[in-house]
Amino acid sequence: MPGDPLAGYLLASGPNLLLNARPLLAAAAGLFFYAAGLILNDVADLPTDRRERPGRPLPSGRIPPRRAGLSAAALLCAGALCVLFLGRPAWWFGASLIASVMVYDFLAKRNAVAGPILMGLCRGLNLLLGAAAAWPVRFWPPPAWFGAAALALYVLLVSRLARDETAVPGRPRLIGLLLGLLLPLQAAFTFCSGTGRAGAIAGAALLALWPLNRLWSRRFSAS
């Protein structure tokens, strides 16, 4: 999600914020990687979906699997191209994020332990990608690391709860509520980033997108 790298950029910048194209490149890379992960998730689920959810775009044949795979590859390349301009520290986080997405989609997501951990790791790395765009050095200020850890833990817990959502009454509604709170969490990071007016504007923009995000999630499934 583009809000993760933006929050990471602001948390790492603090009072030394520089307004340039770097946070936009990091946000674009995060969005490309996220979209590719959603597509690859459906590609990995194709054998199961052919049996259990044949009406979905891939198993129904409305979208050929090869086209979906090529689209995901193009999105990963677009994200990698954005990261290429952010310097060597960002390369490591970008490569780690791509690897985590692939491992989650094709190996770990059905594992009750590894799946939620990888999902949380993906979101934490996405935030740190933005931090690397702000500070192309080996270490970043503690707020960026704390933000990444908090985001990763939050997503890990939500993913773990989602494992049993059909078995517990009211659980799907709770999961939807918790997922909807990710945007306010990102906004809170920007408000607390110490970047002054820029952080306040970014946080307000994220909060303004909250109703649109809720409407979009009701109309379209995430995967």
Closest to 38 (Cα-Cα) out of 30, 26, 28, 47: 30
pTM of the full predicted structure? 0.88
145 touches 79 (CB < 8 A) = no
* Residue whose structure tokens are 């993906």: 122
How many angstroms separate the CA atoms of 152 and 182, rounded? Answer: 11
Nearest to 136 by CA among 177, 87, 169: 87
Predicted confidence at residue 222, as pLDDT, reads: 47
Residue 77, pLDDT score = 97
Q: Which helix (H) or strand (E) holds 14?
A: none
Cα(191)–Cα(204) distance, integer angstroms: 9
Give the model's pLDDT for residue 223. Answer: 45
Which residues fall within 8 angstroms of residue 95, CB to CB, at 6 or more apart?
A: none
Mean pLDDT across 185-198: 90
Superfamily of domain 3-219 in CATH is UbiA prenyltransferase (1.10.357.140)
Mean pLDDT confidence for 81-100:
93
Q: What is the pLDDT of residues 97-147, one digit of tens each?
A: 999 999 999 999 889 899 999 999 999 999 999 999 987 655 567 889 999
Is residue 149 a contact partner of residue 189, using CB atoms and an 8 Å limit?
no
Counting every residue written for the chain, the total comes to 223
Section 22-26 average pLDDT: 94
CA 45 to chain centre: 19
186 vs 211, higher pLDDT: 186
Q: Specify burial of residue 66 (Cβ count, 10 A radius: 0-12, 13-18, 19+).
A: exposed
- Rounded Cα distance between 31 and 10, Å, is 17
Confidence of residue 80 (pLDDT cuts 50, 70, 90): very high
DSSP 3-state percent helix, strand, coil across the chain (nearest 5): 80, 0, 20
Query: How far is the C-alpha of 118 from the C-alpha of 108, rounded, in Å?
Result: 7
Res. 165 pLDDT band, cuts 50 70 90: low
Least confident of 122-131, 146-155, 187-196: 187-196
Of 67 and 173, the one with more pLDDT: 67
In the chain, where are the structural domains located? 3-219
Distances (CA, A) of 212 to 10, 180, 205: 23, 11, 12
* Amino acid 220: pLDDT: 53
Q: Stretch 196-218: mean pLDDT, rounded?
A: 79
Question: Percent of the chain having pLDDT more than 70?
Answer: 90
What is the pLDDT of the chain when averaged over all its residues? 87
Evaluate if residue 204 carries a pLDDT over 70: yes
Q: Which of 7-11, 158-162, 166-170, 187-191 has the lowest mean pLDDT?
A: 166-170
Of the chain, the end-to-end C-alpha distance in Å amounts to 14
